[in-house]
Structure 1
Amino acid sequence: MTAAGLGLAVLLAVAVAGVVHAVGLLRAPAELPEDLRLALEVGRTRTTRAGNAIDRLGIRYVPTVLRMMGPARVARMRTRIEHAGHPYGLTVERYAARRAVYGALGGLAALALLARGNWLLALLLLAYGWWWADLGLWLAVRRRREDIERTLPDFLDVLAVVVSAGLGFRQALERVNAVYQGPWADEIRVALRQMDLGVSRRDAFDQLRRRNNSDQVGQFVTALQQGEELGAPIARTLLQIATDMRRTEAQNARRRAARTVPRATGVITFLLVPATMILLITGTIIGSQIHFGELFGGK
């Protein structure tokens, strides 16, 4: 008991020292290097107050976290953040700051629980500290990809109609994109801006494909470039791409439905049926008022 109490006291002192240090960092953000101060300001108005406070707490430890991650993992994380569309102004530096804060909180709480012998909760808190920042980023990537794939076929249909009306592809793309909102409209706006700055249309759409982890976006860019090389009418190409995307989405929906039926059957078989049988048997025994002592010869 004395050793455990001493360990908890040490952990409490470390936690208090960390809080005091964090408060000092919050009060003196001007001491940060220029690159970290810029990373802290990027997207500050787009995130929540809690998220901004977490970024400020961990921004000092960004260089340490990035060194621990290594150049290859930092590059992969930068690509993943681009695939997520920089949610709430997220950057690699701010991601590293959040990993530092979540890791410190999860580690301190896990040590406190280990001192009390709660191994399971300690492991859960360690998993929280290690994966929480990645979980939010993974959800953002998935949500953005689904939004783009849902918008893209209708966007291509409207674009084909406008191109058929006589406008050039570039002018039609600007006109249709002005009507749409969301991540796909943002990506097209970035590509148009790149073309305004002198980037060729092929390179701009290649970069658009790299920024989006979506098979449908890759299919759209590939078909568009192949149609341009072969001299196919752009309107017909756009309509064919939209048709292929809807056909692919229908096939994927059927596959998801086919996988759902065995899962639902498994849940019913292993959870609902035993629970129902237990309730029926228990109700029958209670309602019949059977005395098991008399039944087995006891008194």
Structure 2
Amino acid sequence: MDAIIILAIIVFWITFVIAIRHYSVYLKEKRMLLAHISEVTEVSAFDKKSKKKNKTSIVQKLTKYADEFSDLGQRINFFSENHDVRDWLQKSGNKYGLTVERFQGMKIVLLIIGFISGMLSLVIGLPFSQYALIFNPLIGYFLPIIVVRNQAKKRQEALRYDLPDFLDTISTSLQAGVSLDQALREVIRFFDGPLREEFSRFNHEIDLGVQRETAYRNLLERNDNPEFQSLIKALMQGLKLGVPIATTFKVQAEDMRQFREEQVKELAAKASPKVTLVTTFVVAPVSILMIAGLMLLNLIYGENSIIKLFDNL
């Protein structure tokens, strides 16, 4: 019996080691396949999508009900006109695949959810439930607006951050004799985020037969970052006037780096008064109160305190 148990343990560990070996081979081959897919499709296949999938599934569930309230949402359009919503969705990249109608319906759905949650908190008797009945619907209404506008702002900032390095790489490729289209296809594979998305879409439009000037104008409509718009307008002007594109990219990269330095200096200059304000109205009074408190305690409980002085008298 002992021999059977020992044999079973040995077989278990042998199969466990074999399983680990095969699993490591599987992960290696999967990584190679994802790298091949990324190279062919020009879209990164290594992004972690677990959290995105969870968020997307929640949004998809809500959109089933949002379609039913889309008409009502377009009528109740405070701070969310249809043309503004369309602009926000374009500039944010529209991660959740929302249309203007679904976005408007989503506001009403979240408003109803907020109202129901406020009623439940009032029935249960939670603290501040009377305020929740008012503020929860408002939060539900304005939440999609705030989220989409924040996404649009972050996306435009990400464009600004990656542009100088991108332009330097493109300029080097063009000076080596590579065409603009080929340089864009090769360089964007080494970048992530909105910059890659925008120029990948630009390349796809060119492949589908869209005129280059029209594709440039589409880039301008989808993004309002000043540096990015300056680059695209310079490319459009270079296309009309025949200015060397490599020179355009190089000059734009230098201008953007200089602009970023000036922006950092401006932020540093704005931070100095804020630090002074905090020091004057927070740190200094607290320090004075601490010193005054120590002096008062020493006066009362110290060796030469007032209490001991009266006791001696």
Give the structure-2-normalised TM-score.
0.69
Q: In percent, how many aligned pairs have the same letter?
A: 25
- Alignment check: 8 A CA contact 1:177 1:188 kept: yes
Pick the aligned partner of 1:82 from 90, 104, 111.
Answer: 90
Structure 1 residue runs without a partner (length 5+): 1-43, 293-299
Correspondences of 1:234-245 after superposition (within 5 Å) = 234-245=245-256
Distance (whole Å) between structure 2 residues aligned to residue 106 and residue 280 of structure 1 = 49
Alpha-carbon displacement from aligned partner over 1:156-215 (angstroms, at most 9, x marks no partner): 111111111112212222222233222111100111111112211111011101101200
Pick the aligned partner of 2:142 from 131, 134, 137.
Answer: 131
Alpha-carbon displacement from aligned partner over 1:218-265 (angstroms, at most 9, x marks no partner): 100111122222222111111001111111111111111111111222
- Does residue 101 (structure 1) correspond to residue 109 (structure 2)? The answer is yes
- SS of residue matched to 1:69: coil
Aligned to 2:198: 187
Distance (whole Å) between structure 2 residues aligned to residue 57 and residue 280 of structure 1 = 62
Pick the aligned partner of 2:170 from 159, 168, 175.
Answer: 159
Residue 91 of structure 1, CA deviation: 3.4
Residue 112 of structure 1, CA deviation: 7.8
- Partner amino acid, structure 2, of 1:185: R
- Does residue 261 (structure 1) correspond to residue 269 (structure 2)? The answer is no
- Alignment check: 8 A CA contact 1:87 1:140 kept: no
Residue 68 of structure 1, CA deviation: 2.0
Change (3 A) 1:117 1:161: closer
Residue 269 of structure 1, CA deviation: 1.9
Pick the aligned partner of 1:140 from 136, 144, 151.
Answer: 151
Residue 281 of structure 1, CA deviation: 3.3
- Does residue 69 (structure 1) correspond to residue 80 (structure 2)? The answer is no
Distance (whole Å) between structure 2 residues aligned to residue 121 and residue 267 of structure 1 = 33
Pick the aligned partner of 2:236 from 216, 225, 244.
Answer: 225
Residue 82 of structure 1, CA deviation: 0.7
Q: Bigger shift: 175-184 or 270-279?
A: 270-279
Alpha-carbon displacement from aligned partner over 1:265-286 (angstroms, at most 9, x marks no partner): 2122222323333344344434
- Alignment check: 8 A CA contact 2:77 2:104 kept: no
- Does residue 212 (structure 1) correspond to residue 220 (structure 2)? The answer is no
Distance (whole Å) between structure 1 residues aligned to residue 269 and residue 170 of structure 2 = 34
- SS of residue matched to 2:250: helix
The structure with the larger Rg is 2
- Alignment check: 8 A CA contact 1:46 1:88 kept: no
- SS of residue matched to 1:47: helix
Change (3 A) 1:280 1:55: farther
Count of matched residue pairs: 252
Residue 216 of structure 1, CA deviation: 0.8
Aligned to 1:60: 68
- Alignment check: 8 A CA contact 2:65 2:109 kept: yes
Distance (whole Å) between structure 1 residues aligned to residue 237 and residue 286 of structure 2 = 58
Distance (whole Å) between structure 1 residues aligned to residue 259 and residue 101 of structure 2 = 37
Aligned to 1:41: none
Change (3 A) 1:277 1:112: farther
Alpha-carbon displacement from aligned partner over 1:45-101 (angstroms, at most 9, x marks no partner): 57344444443454422221122228x811210111110111233433442343123
- Alignment check: 8 A CA contact 2:70 2:101 kept: yes
CA RMSD of aligned residues (A): 3.4
